[in-house]
Amino acid sequence: MKRTGAQILWECLVREGVTEVFGYPGGAILPAYDAMLDYPIRHTLVRHEQGATHMADGYARASGKVGVAIATSGPGATNMVTGIATAMLDSSPIVCITGQVGSRLIGTDAFQEIDITGITLPVTKHNYLVTSAQDVARTVREAFMIAKSGRPGPVLIDITKDAQQASCEFEWETAAPVVPGWREAPPLGRAELARAAELIRTAERPVILAGHGVTISGAEPALRAFAERANIPIAATLLGIGGFPASHSLNLGMMGMHGEAWVNLAIQEADLLIACGMRFDDRVTGNLKTYAPHAKKIHIEIDPSEINKNVRVDVALVADLRDVLERLVPLTEPGHRQAWFDRIAGYKGDSAVRDIQSLPDDGHLYAAHVINDLWRATRSQDTIVVTDVGQHQMWEAQYYHHENPRSLITSGGLGTMGFAVPAAIGAKRARPEAEVWAVVGDGGFQMTMCELATAVQDAINIKVAIINNGYLGMVRQWQEFFYERRYAATPLSGPDFVKLADAFGIRSRAVSTRSDVLSAIADATAHEGPVVIDFRVEQEDTVYPMVPAGADLHAMIRRPNPIVETAAD
Amino acid sequence: MKLHTFTVYVEDRPGVLNRVASLFRRRGFNIQSLSVGHSETAGVSRMTVVVETDDSGAARIKAHVYKLINVVRVEDITDRPSVVRDLALIKVSANHQNRAAVMQLANVFHARVVDVAPESLVVEMVGSEAKIDGLLEVLRPYGVLEMVRTGRVAMARGSGAGVAAGGGRFLPEAEEGFSYSV
Ligand SMILES: Cc1ncc(C[n+]2csc(CCOP(=O)(O)OP(=O)(O)O)c2C)c(N)n1
Ligand SMILES: [Mg+2]
């Protein structure tokens, strides 16, 4: 059957199960856009191509499926780079399609020609330049295979305009991927498994470190079965949150720079770390020289290049996490570790007292309270929270207690401000039945707030909670601690967010006292359509605890202990 | 730290050399030499890459290179018995008075004179890098006008076959490489 390259593109996307794409048209991608109308695809018109990539990413993280973004050549393609890098650093499977100038013009600096495969080389798992219609089908199939397999990641397909326009024979079956270097994870050696099981059996103070890999491999039930059988507490990385229920008695909480004090202390005192689909990022280890000095380490990880990269491990199991955990369970004996749990309880010490939740109400609105109230108000429903990057992101991780996988979506590895609003739109497209909240700082919101127009035009029902502190708060916090409170370029003004939302045609409201928080959230939930709430919170608040960059993991700056007697109840 | 020699089989497609070279740069490894050419299998090129690093760096390089989709196979043959060669063309200043002396030196090193001009000679030498360095040292006093070297190419000794035998998929060698127990 003869088809144009553009038709083949959509034909293949549909066969790959794609129903939603996020994009922005332009000259070099016009043939593809024209053909799109004839296929069962819903297109969301973004306001900036960065938004399209974050939407595809949010879609992928909410659903576990591949997200698709599409843009034109030149500036359309370069606008995607930040979103592609965000997906790369967080192992999120997206496929980005860009138009390219005609193949005869390549290399001539033609209008809107840019070497996007060159530019994205280090931030994609793989990328392609397609110059002939014959190659479209195989390339799309390869791209999906690569994006979602092993350690997932972004794949970019740059298609020249003539390749979109030309016609050729199309047959899905014969366009099978040709990837001679393709490898699935190698089979796991019994010996390694046995060694891991032995370390687990003899450990007295083990901790499981749960990362993004838990959710990526669908290992949540296996992790739970393993942890419960071996009776081992679990600490989560930022992206590991949701992989294990927050309310479970074995859950310790988040580790790392803004992790809970007792979690970091437990890691430092542990005699065994079982790292599950995490990569010992500097934000979770602190100073590597003093990291978990007493612990043997088992690393379960599908990407061999992560093994011994930051931390030397004693046993490495390079395979799919779920597979490994399922095979470990029968090798594991029930663990009795009361002494260890008692010791961890001791690390909690006065943490509860220092917690901002215990502070007497001083009439101020604190971000932590807003987020904790949001959790109270939405916990019983199917809710996804998508955060931006900054203080509010860390408070979300600390004060919203996630029970379910894929219920927190956040930019971890790249820390991309501007992620929340578009990623929330993508998440809502993936899970329309879920309530999707974007929790975003006043800084990050102003980076991609144009996507509110997208939400309105396409009737995408997201709720936006702006944690408005009048600062680039996280940077201000570093200035407070490490730069003598010299607030260079961190005080931040903004428009009146209520009026702004109003101008977009979005229901909105400002909240500046705690007593209004719950009713504002209830209002937002009840409204069928996007809502913006401007939470005007305490301006110079600080995220505690904090491990300064490069410091020992146990060297945390703690929130000062408040007046103990008022907090005792 | 020592020089590690990697042989890398890659799909013969545009941009693949860039992908491999760029990976070394981005991961902070400095390539000492790199040579590319055809392998025994059509459609597959073979690179020899030399990098100065320690053993854990070499293990990481191998794992990172493996992740490139166009890489079919990678081996670190540093500690395996192997044949390692470099080819050099050296243009030496030489006139009718000292030409014979230069040619004699070349002879001692089993190098060949491949071009003779009134004021210069081109000497070709194939050998280990150290041998070529030795020749270069004795030629320098005469005046080295120009030199080009291919960089190291290497092949493990013995009957182990190239990429064709393994077909590139699920190579047993790869599995061995992925087993990281320490
Ligand atoms: C695109 C981008 N630019 C700069 C930064 C550096 N940065 C990290 S947190 C932060 C402040 C964020 O401010 P805001 O969005 O208001 O959130 P807050 O910390 O106040 O909650 C900045 C500037 C970043 N992470 N991303
Ligand atoms: Mg702010």
Percent of chain A with pLDDT over 70: 98
Confidence of residue A422 (pLDDT cuts 50, 70, 90): very high
Residue A555 lies in a domain: no
- CA–CA distance from A292 to each of A263, A286, A304, A354 (Å)? 12, 10, 22, 25
Q: Do A308 and B179 touch (CB under 8 A)?
A: no
Residue A162 lies in a domain: yes
Per-residue pLDDT tens over the stretch B4-26: 999 999 999 999 999 999 999 99
Helix H or strand E encompassing A171: none
Atom of ligand 1 nearest to the CA of A418: 1
Query: Average model confidence (pLDDT) for chain A?
Result: 95
- CA–CA distance from A445 to each of A395, A477, B72, B163 (Å)? 17, 19, 44, 52
Per-residue pLDDT tens over the stretch A201-246: 999 999 999 999 999 999 999 999 999 999 999 999 999 999 999 9
Whether the model clears a pTM of 0.90, i.e. scores above it, the answer is: yes
CA A501 to chain centre: 26
Per-residue pLDDT tens over the stretch B136-166: 999 999 999 999 999 999 999 987 777 654 4
Ranges of residues in chain B with a pLDDT under 70 are 163-182
Distance A61 CA to ligand 2 centre (A): 25
A348, A372, A402 - which closes a domain: A348
Contacts of A118 in chain B (CB under 8 A): 18
Closest CA to A501 of A468, A471, A475: A468
- A279: Cβ below 6 Å to ligand 1? no
Atom of ligand 1 nearest to the CA of A472: 13
Residues of A tagged active-site: 49, 111-112, 161, 474
Per-residue pLDDT tens over the stretch A438-451: 999 999 999 999 99
Q: Which residue from A371, A417, A487, A542 has its CB within 8 A of the most atoms of ligand 1, so it is best to mutate?
A: A417
Atom of ligand 1 nearest to the CA of A414: 25
Distance A445 CA to ligand 2 centre (A): 9
* Spatial CB neighbours of A317, under 8 Å, sequence gap ≥ 6: A188, A192, A193, A196, A298, A299, A300, A301, A324
Per-residue pLDDT tens over the stretch A460-492: 999 999 999 999 999 999 999 999 999 999 999
Kindly state whether residues A168 and A117 are assigned to the same domain: yes
Residue A367 has which token pair?
């971000």
Distance A559 CA to ligand 2 centre (A): 20
Res A359: pLDDT:
79
A244: domain CATH number?
Answer: 3.40.50.1220
- A413: Cβ below 6 Å to ligand 1? no
Res A563: pLDDT:
53
Q: Is the pLDDT of residue A145 over 90?
A: yes
Residue A565 lies in a domain: no
Res B164: pLDDT:
52
Closest to A179 (Cβ–Cβ): which among B63, B69, B170? Answer: B69
Res A47: pLDDT:
98
Res A179: pLDDT:
87
Distance A542 CA to ligand 2 centre (A): 11
Confidence of residue A356 (pLDDT cuts 50, 70, 90): confident
CA B23 to chain centre: 18
Yes or no: is domain B83-153 CATH 3.30.70.1150?
yes
Residue range(s) defining the domain that contains residue A207: 190-348
Confidence of residue A562 (pLDDT cuts 50, 70, 90): low
Cβ proximity of A206 and A275 under 8 Å:
no
Calculate mean pLDDT across residues A296-318: 95
- A417: Cβ below 6 Å to ligand 1? yes
Kindly state whether residues A327 and A364 are assigned to the same domain: no
Residue A489 lies in a domain: yes
Res A233: pLDDT:
98
Cβ proximity of B180 and B77 under 8 Å:
no
Cβ proximity of A232 and A337 under 8 Å:
yes
Asked if the domains B2-80 and B83-153 are classified in one and the same CATH topology, the answer is: yes
Res B163: pLDDT:
66
Residue A182 lies in a domain: no
Question: How many domains are there within chain A?
Answer: 3
Cβ proximity of A133 and A6 under 8 Å:
no
Please check whether residue A14 touches B, CB under 8 A.
no
* Closest Cα in chain A, distance from residue B76 (Å): 15
A40: domain CATH number?
Answer: 3.40.50.970
Res A495: pLDDT:
97
* Closest Cα in chain B, distance from residue A519 (Å): 51
Closest to B69 (Cβ–Cβ): which among A126, A308, A314? Answer: A126
Q: A128: which strand partners? A: A157
Domain ranges of chain B: 2-80, 83-153
Domain spanning B2-80: which CATH class is it, in words? alpha beta
Residue nearest to atom 17 of ligand 1 (CA): A441
Res A567: pLDDT:
42
